[in-house]
Amino acid sequence: MSLSLALLAVLAGVVTAAAVTIRQLVDRLRTLERQAITDALTGAFNRRYFNDCLQTAIERHTRFGESACLVLLDIDRFKEINDSLGHLAGDAVLKGLVILVRRGVRTLDLLFRTGGEEFALLLPSTSFHGALEVAEQIRALVTAWRPIEGHTVSISVGVSELRRGQSPLEWIGDADRALYRAKRAGRNRVAGGAPKDAPIKVMEGARRA
């Protein structure tokens, strides 16, 4: 082999090695990015990413008029599961719930874990009545679900449609008030409504909006 060919072979090896290293670095960065926005236990997105996505939805609503709805989900009497069955059982319920909810929504809908047993679902390009229907479908799925033999799980759900000029905290506040209305009405319900002091619709059973 001539000297020039040998040099080319060496250079080709260096370039290949560099390409592999760059690809590994890119993969590693992507992994770190996912970890930074993901809840370690459940695989849902975390609270930090939730705040970012709410702000993005508000900006799109302001600029393009794109509708969006926020759905807050809270597992009813979750402390009783932990106390009676242990934290491993509680963790299994949390992880199973995320899998169940994701099966019932679109790929563009985003699920976040915002607290211990509290989750938020962001529904882009969704009307208020459409969000109520999605929320009721999820509630019914959870009610029929048996994650632990001999035990049932239910959720209370609050739904709020984004209104022009709202801040993230105001939007969350609307959904949170609806959620607590559902809990006060007896749990295992969907409540929708939203502006402060406005009537809130409470859905029971399998009725749809």
Q: Where are the domains of the chain?
A: 1-37, 47-203
CB 156 within 8 A of CB 183: yes
The pLDDT value given to residue 23: 77
Give the CATH fold of the 47-203 domain.
Answer: Alpha-Beta Plaits (3.30.70)
pTM, rounded to two decimals:
0.81
User: CB within 8 A of 80, min separation 6: which ones?
Assistant: none
Least confident stretch, 23-32, 52-61, 152-161: 23-32
CB 178 within 8 A of CB 159: yes
- Indicate if the pLDDT at residue 205 is higher than 70: no
User: How does the average pLDDT of the chain come out, rounded?
Assistant: 88
The pLDDT value given to residue 190: 97
pLDDT tens per residue across span 7-52: 767 677 777 877 767 777 666 667 667 779 999 999 999 999 999 9
Plot region of 145 (φ>0 → left; ψ -120 to 50 → alpha; else → beta): beta
Burial (CB count <10 Å: 0-12, 13-18, 19+), residue 118: middle
- Indicate if the pLDDT at residue 195 is higher than 70: no
- Indicate if the pLDDT at residue 183 is higher than 70: yes
In the residue annotation, 117 being an active-site residue is answered as yes
The pLDDT value given to residue 193: 74
Q: 54, 5, 19: which is closest to 166 by C-alpha?
A: 54
User: CB within 8 A of 147, min separation 6: which ones?
Assistant: 92, 93, 96, 97, 153
Confidence of residue 202 (pLDDT cuts 50, 70, 90): low
Partner residues linked to 111 by β-bridges: 121
Q: Percent of the chain at pLDDT above 90?
A: 73
In the set 33, 59, 80, 117, the catalytic residue is 117
pLDDT tens per residue across span 105-131: 999 999 999 999 999 999 999 999 999
**Inter-axis angle of helices 47-64 and 168-184, to 10 degrees?**
110
- Indicate if the pLDDT at residue 208 is higher than 50: no
Going by the DSSP 8-state scheme, the letter that residue 169 receives in this structure is H
The CA–CA distances, whole Å, from 89 to 85, 94, 95 equal 6, 9, 10
Query: How many whole angstroms separate alpha carbon 20 and alpha carbon 85?
Result: 48
Q: Percent of the chain at pLDDT above 70?
A: 86
pLDDT tens per residue across span 62-88: 999 999 999 999 999 999 999 999 999
